[in-house]
Amino acid sequence: MMIEESTILLDTPVGRLAVATDGSAVLSIRIATDRVQELAQAETPVAMQTINELEEYFAGKRKEFGIPIRMNGTAFQIRVWNELLKIPHGSVTTYGEIAARIGKPGAARAVGMACNRNPLLIVVPCHRVVGQDGSLTGYAAGTDKKRMLLELENGIQER
């Protein structure tokens, strides 16, 4: 049985987001490309819950997400992404600290690559991971957007 994937768009302070769902869970939240924007909009209950929660987040009224998500990646990526879910709203950690927490202390660079491949922007908060020196290194959507998200969450500035 083939599961139908649908995408809906949301304009946010960090740009237009494309939210893809399969009807029961969110599969991805990404910066919308021109190609994605041409896809048909499908307002499923999961998509609408996601839109609502993202709007609350950007309005400063939500610190945690309750939407069902489905992570698709390698075993290592999923371990990293699950660890990212434990970073509290308004906090930051480093790639090296995440590597140590998952039992791979020298894998900071691999953690960075897993963050770069995170398909669930904002909800799986890879924007809360910074360089060892506190700098806002790398973010798939751009470090300017990473800074915006951190500032939104508590006025966190680059160290």
- Which residues are annotated as catalytic? 126
Tokens linked to 158: 């680059």
Q: Between helices 108-116 and 75-84, what is the axis angle to 10°?
A: 80
Q: Count the residues in the chain.
A: 159
Q: How far apart are CA 64 and CA 82, in angstroms?
A: 14
Tokens linked to 102: 């998952």
